[in-house]
Amino acid sequence: MRSFDTIVIGVGGMGSATLWQLARRGQKVLGIERFDLGHSLGSSHGVNRIIRLAYFEHPNYVPLLRRAYELWREAEQLTKEQLLFVTGGIDAGAEDSRIVQGALTACREHDLPHEVLTAQETQQRFPGYKLPNKYAVVYQPDAGFVASERAILAHATLAVSAGAEIHGREKVLAIEPANGRVVVVTDQGRYEAGKVVVSTGGWVSDLIPALKTKAVPERQVLG
């Protein structure tokens, strides 16, 4: 049975980045993906995913996002491929809505450049938008999108270059504690590690039953 410092289960948007960061720090790491690298069944499939600094959910995310922007630029330099596209972005809704007020709070607490626009001003600047007259809009110029499937391949490439090993089309069947370490059982073998990172998205409760009622997959329709 082969041994690793860390095993990452699920090599999607989160898992591939985790593999790169662990491998570059000198860890012996293994990534196991039940499908191909880049597939249509995960949460990072498709051409792109939004990225933004004006995080209306909570201003505490902003330092993490600033660091993420730095790491995207570093990944771009190493792979010679653009992954982060800055276009500017808007958060729109009723003036007292959580989206608008949350975005404003993030901008103000972290001194993010931003503008507050009316619906009419927004339509004049961005003709593709026709919003209700009562809406308020927060425009933040640092928002944009990440080329999500390309990012997975880029992170996986960087991880392998740093010494990581990745297995595709291998399904994890169980995670078993063993003498202070962990054994990962797959349909093709058994591996031992000091730690395991589970980044399997919608399948997480299959491996961690305690999350079955907490991590419930939802379909996110993008338009």
- Does residue 213 share a domain with residue 155? yes
Indicate if 4 and 78 belong to the same structural domain: no
Within this chain, do residues 33 and 116 fall inside the same structural domain, yes or no? no
Q: Are residues 116 and 52 in the same domain?
A: yes
Domain boundaries, position 196: 1-42+149-223
Q: How confident is the model at residue 69 (pLDDT cuts 50, 70, 90)?
A: very high
Which pLDDT belongs to residue 201? 92
**Final residue of a structural domain among 131, 146, 161:** 146
Domain end point (choices 146, 170, 203): 146
pLDDT at 218 over 90: no
Whether 153 and 188 share a structural domain: yes
- Residue that is written with structure tokens 């797959």 in the block: 186
**pLDDT at 185 > cutoff 70:** yes
CATH of residue 13 = 3.50.50.60
Between 155 and 41, the more confident residue is: 155
* Closest-CA residue to 191 (of 13, 24, 35, 29): 29
Which of residues 116, 146, 176 is at a domain's end?
146
- For the stretch 85-100, pLDDT in tens is 999 999 999 999 999 9
pLDDT at 180: 94
The domain total for the chain is 2
User: Quick one: 68 and 138 in the same domain?
Assistant: yes
Q: What is the pLDDT of residues 157-182, one digit of tens each?
A: 999 999 999 999 999 999 999 999 99
Q: Is the pLDDT of residue 223 over 90?
A: no
pTM comes to: 0.93
Whether the predicted pLDDT of 149 surpasses 70: yes
Q: What is the mean pLDDT of the chain?
A: 96
Q: What is the mean pLDDT of residues 191-216?
A: 95
Q: What is the average per-residue pLDDT within 49-69? A: 97
